[in-house]
């Protein structure tokens, strides 16, 4: 069926147009505003397109766009540090999530077959409950007078309460906790599909169980590892809630910077420039992730 009926065209056009207007167009607007200047007006930036003046107005508009905001971002070490620190925090927490997530996914895949659906559901369940609430739950645990410190003090492991809340450590804990299911599920999916006789073959050919894991299991679960890492790393870079609620004033993350720039300082052009740079930072991993997803789709 090579020819399409008008109905079929409409089926495609509807979601397509929706995304063009509400996903793609907004980015172009962000880009445009990032090249504008802060002004005391409504909306608080200049220039604005004045269509009543026709072509001259449009030319005027383009003449007034500049890279001032980007130059400002480049010159102020606060922003550069925020980008770098976001990358570092995202990378470290992705790595920790991978270690913990792999162990759990591996255990899930080895669990007796009849338990597996229940166990998988238990892993997914927290994902369905509110993100905000799950982050909030850690405040009560990590506070100076919180439950963790109470427990550690009472068994005499520490003499002084630990300062975890409002530090980068708390942000790591928050990210690992919140994104753990995203790491477990893709890894579990690849491990579960794995043919068990491969391990028997490896044993038959003289590998120890340990060697078989590194030579067979790990390479075969690589697609799951990659997918999981993308799913944790990419959103973690732009994370706002976790650093805001659990992190301290010294925890720099770009998502939070953007929020503050926008809501507290009301500097929309600068916030837009921050967002544009964040997007540029993310384009490489997002494109890689998409490629991988498509490859999986074709393969599966």
Partner 1 sequence: MTNRFSWFSATSLTLGMAFLYLPILILVVYSFNESRLVTVWGGFSTKWYGELFRNEAFLDAAWVTLRVALISATVATLLGTLAAYALVRAGKFRGRTLFSGMIYAPLVMPEVITGLSLLLLFISIGMDRGITTIILAHITFGMCFASVVVSSRLVAFDASLEEAACDLGCTPVQAFFYVTLPVIAPAIVAAWLLAFTLSLDDLVIASFTSGPGATTLPMKIYSQVRLGVTPEINALSTLLIGFVSIGVILASLAGKRAAVET
**178: exposed, middle or buried (C-beta count within 10 Å: 0-12, 13-18, 19+)?**
buried
Q: List the beta bridge partners of residue 46.
A: 37
Q: How far is the CB of 63 from partner 1 (least distance, A)?
A: 19
Choose, by CB under 8 A, the member of 69, 143, 221, 225 that binds partner 1: 143
Choose, by CB under 8 A, the member of 58, 74, 84, 125 that binds partner 1: 125
Q: How far is the CB of 99 from partner 1 (least distance, A)?
A: 10
The residues in 263-292 that bind partner 1, with binding defined as CB under 8 A, are: 263, 268, 271-272, 275, 278-279, 282, 285-286, 289-290
- Find out whether 281 and 117 touch, Cβ atoms under 8 Å: no
- Find out whether 109 and 184 touch, Cβ atoms under 8 Å: no
The residues in 167-186 that bind partner 1, with binding defined as CB under 8 A, are: 177, 180
Distance of alpha carbon 198 from its chain centroid, rounded? Answer: 34
81 phi and psi angles, rounded to 5 deg: -60, -35
Q: Is 216 in the site for partner 1 (CB under 8 A)?
A: no
Q: How far is the CB of 110 from partner 1 (least distance, A)?
A: 5
Q: How far is the CB of 59 from partner 1 (least distance, A)?
A: 19
Site string for partner 1, 28-47 (x = CB under 8 A): -xx--x---------x----
| Peptide bond preceding 243 in cis form (omega within 30 of 0) | no
Q: Is 95 in the site for partner 1 (CB under 8 A)?
A: no
SS3 state at 37: strand
């Amino acid at each position: 069926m090579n020819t399409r009926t008008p109905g079929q065209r409409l089926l495609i056009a509807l979601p397509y147009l929706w995304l063009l207007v509400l996903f793609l167009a907004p980015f172009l607007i962000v880009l445009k505003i990032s090249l504008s200047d802060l002004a005391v007006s409504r909306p608080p930036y200049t220039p604005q397109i004045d269509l009543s003046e026709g072509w001259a107005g449009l030319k005027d508009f383009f003449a007034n766009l500049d890279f001032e905001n980007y130059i400002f971002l480049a010159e102020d070490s606060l922003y550069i540090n925020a980008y770098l620190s976001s990358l570092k925090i995202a990378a470290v927490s992705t790595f920790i999530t991978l270690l913990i997530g792999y162990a759990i996914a591996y255990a899930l895949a080895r669990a007796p077959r009849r338990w597996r659906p229940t166990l998988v559901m238990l892993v997914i369940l927290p994902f369905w409950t509110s993100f905000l609430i799950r982050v909030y739950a850690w405040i009560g645990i990590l506070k100076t007078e919180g439950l963790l410190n109470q427990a550690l003090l009472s068994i005499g492991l520490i003499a002084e309460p630990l300062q975890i809340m409002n530090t980068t450590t708390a942000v790591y804990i928050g990210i690992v906790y919140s994104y753990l299911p995203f790491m477990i599920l893709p890894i579990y999916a690849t491990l579960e599909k794995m043919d068990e006789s491969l391990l028997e073959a490896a044993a038959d050919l003289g590998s120890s169980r340990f060697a078989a894991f590194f030579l067979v299991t790990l390479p075969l679960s690589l697609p799951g590892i990659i997918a999981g890492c993308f799913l944790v790393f990419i959103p973690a870079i732009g994370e706002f809630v976790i650093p805001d609620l659990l992190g301290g004033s010294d925890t720099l993350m770009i998502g939070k910077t953007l929020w503050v720039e926008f809501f507290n300082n009301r500097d929309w052009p600068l916030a837009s420039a921050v967002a544009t740079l964040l997007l540029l930072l993310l384009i490489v991993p997002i494109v890689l992730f998409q490629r991988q997803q498509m490859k999986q789709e074709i393969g599966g």
